Amino acid sequence: MKKYVLILAGGTGKRMGKTKMPKQFLELGDKPIFIHTLEQFLLNENIDNIILCCHKNWISHAINTIDKYIHKNNITVVDGGDTRNDSMINGCNYIKENFGLNDDDIVIVHDAVRPFVSQRIINSNIEMTKQYVAVDTVIPATDTIVKSEDNKIISEIPVRNQMYQGQTPQTFNLKKLIELYDELTEEEKAILTDSCKIFVLKNQPVALVEGEIFNMKITSLHDFKIANAILELRGEK
């Protein structure tokens, strides 16, 4: 079994507001956000290879930044494509074409802008794939979830203790992920919000791994300020 990591860094960070570069390349403390993220996976001895899926306009910048901060040779930067789905499947196909594909290989898919992922979460994902072909990292919903089909009037209020908020990493049997993605219609691909939905659409079980509140995704300027505060509390800034 080989264990690969796909770091999705293809976004342009429009929700962050006007910044000189995509949010994953902004400095958090003394280094870019995506470098913090890469370091967490480099610390894990279970990982064989890491693939950074990056927007084509920023590939050279990503490579130069990695060379500046990291001195390991198991990171590859590839073109991530135009959407999250493109980044995910481009990364999977890169693995298939360059490393081959074994029945028990797994791929860990993670957001470049979740720099505080813990070793416990990573290891729990890996362990759970020994029993299931798909694993999602989640935390229990603390607020009541309200559903509105027309975005005007409440159509349903689900039972809160059955609701979870999705995080990453999400971990999959690599061969099964590629197989199911290739079976999707264009309509199904259009409604994908994350990789786990591929398995849900195809009626495949997706197991849950307990996430952590501080495994946050840096999406907005407010998130960025919170992330800097976390670093300060940890004495890393």
- Which pLDDT score, from 0 to 100, does residue 10 have? 82
Is residue 42 within 8 A of residue 72, CB to CB? The reply is yes
Please report the DSSP string for 163-178 in residue order.
-EEEEEEEEEEHHHHH
- The predicted pLDDT at position 64 comes to 95
pLDDT score for 72: 74
Question: Could you report the average pLDDT of every consecutive run of 10 residues in the chain (237 residues)?
Answer: 94 64 93 97 96 94 95 87 87 95 96 97 97 97 94 95 96 97 93 92 97 95 94 80
pLDDT at 237: 62
Counts of helices then strands in the chain (DSSP H, E): 8, 9
Nearest-5° angle of CA 62, CA 32, CA 227? 145
Query: In the chain, what are the domains?
Result: 3-234 (3.90.550.10)
Q: How far is residue 105's CA from residue 126's CA, in Å, rounded to a whole number?
A: 11
Q: Please state the separation of Cα 109 from the chain's center in Å.
A: 5
How confident is the model at residue 4, as a pLDDT? 98
The whole-number pLDDT of residue 17 equals 57
Is the pTM here over 0.85, yes or no? yes
Query: What is the DSSP code (8-state) at residue 150?
Result: S
Q: DSSP letters along 15-45, please?
A: GG-S-SS-GGGSEETTEEHHHHHHHHHHT-T
